Amino acid sequence: IPVTLGEFYVGEMGGVFIFAIAGVGLMLLTGYTGLVNLGHAAFLGIGAYTNAILLHAGVPFIVTLPAAGVMAAIAGVAIGIPTLRMSGLYLAIATLAFGAIVGTVLQKWDSVTGGFDGFAVPTPSIFGWPIEGATGVYYLSLAVLVFVLWVSANVLRSPLGRAMVAIRDSEISAQSMGINLALYKTVAFAISAGMTGLAGALFAHYVRFLAPDSFDILLSIQFVTIVFV
């Protein structure tokens, strides 16, 4: 695509790759584990701000990218543990509330996130090579998407993936077979959030300027729509 099409289309495809990464993360949680998440955009925001803030502090991009995924995964565990006994509409409401809380924190924590004034994202570089323009984001996002798809395929073929599917089909049956519901639900939240955190780090370079209202409920609904379609 970078060879045959102009910069606009290359940039748009980079955005598609980034949303695909977040969509794969939500697919593992909602599609394969059966846990509805209406606050998925919050993990994208956590990853985006973590990456941008660490880059601004002088941390190399090869460290800030995985750090964004780890921070989002920690947030996934934080929401996964309190909602272990929830499902369906109740879980949807809880994750919606989580998304609202994260959005409020991003708005009010001016000294770190810049609040509504926004946060300019520094240009990343890998081993001295700056990742600039639509083409740089395109190839980087494509590489991360391939990695996420590879991880997802291996997870779904593993005992973890089979346990996730069993939980989706019937929690009672899964528990009767010895599957630890609390453990696997929390792990599913962590993996989903971690992948979305990676997408958030890339999203920061896609938009180049972060604002808290970019990660609202409408974006979460868009992710759910992507997975269902």
Provide the 3-class DSSP secondary structure of residue 17: helix
What pLDDT, on a 0 to 100 scale, did the predictor assign at position 199? Answer: 93
**What Å distances lie between residue 225 and 2, 26, 32, 164, 169, CA to CA?**
28, 11, 15, 21, 21
Predicted model pTM: 0.87
Over residues 190-210, the mean pLDDT reads: 90
Higher pLDDT, residue 16 or 116: 16
- pLDDT at residue 195, as a whole number: 93
CA 106, CA 64: separation in Å to the nearest integer? 19
- What mean pLDDT is reported for the chain? 86
Q: Please compute the mean of the pLDDT values over residues 12-24 and round it to a whole number.
A: 92
pLDDT of residue 26: 92
User: Does the structure show a pLDDT above 80 at 206?
Assistant: yes
Report pLDDT for 120.
Answer: 80
Q: How far apart are CA 12 and CA 66, in angstroms?
A: 24
The predicted pLDDT at position 91 comes to 84
Tens digits of residue pLDDT in 137-187:
889 899 999 999 999 999 999 988 888 888 888 878 888 888 888 888 889
Residue 199 in contact with residue 52, Cβ under 8 Å?
no
pLDDT of 116: 76
First to last CA, the chain: 24
pLDDT digits (tens, 9 = 90+) for 55-103: 888 888 889 889 999 999 999 898 888 887 777 788 888 888 888 888 8
| SS3 of residue 209 by DSSP | strand
Give the pLDDT confidence score for residue 67 in this predicted structure: 93
| Residues above pLDDT 90, as percent of the chain | 25
Find the mean pLDDT for residues 99-116.
82
Mean pLDDT, range 106-129, rounded to an integer: 78
What mean pLDDT comes out for the span 3-19? Answer: 88
CA 78 to CA 195: how far, in whole Å? 16
Q: Choose the most confident range, by mean pLDDT, from 34-38, 50-54, 119-123.
A: 50-54
State the average pLDDT over residues 204-224.
85
Amino acid at 205: H
State mean pLDDT over 212-225: 86
Q: Which of 74, 51, 84, 83 is nearest to 207 (CA)?
A: 51
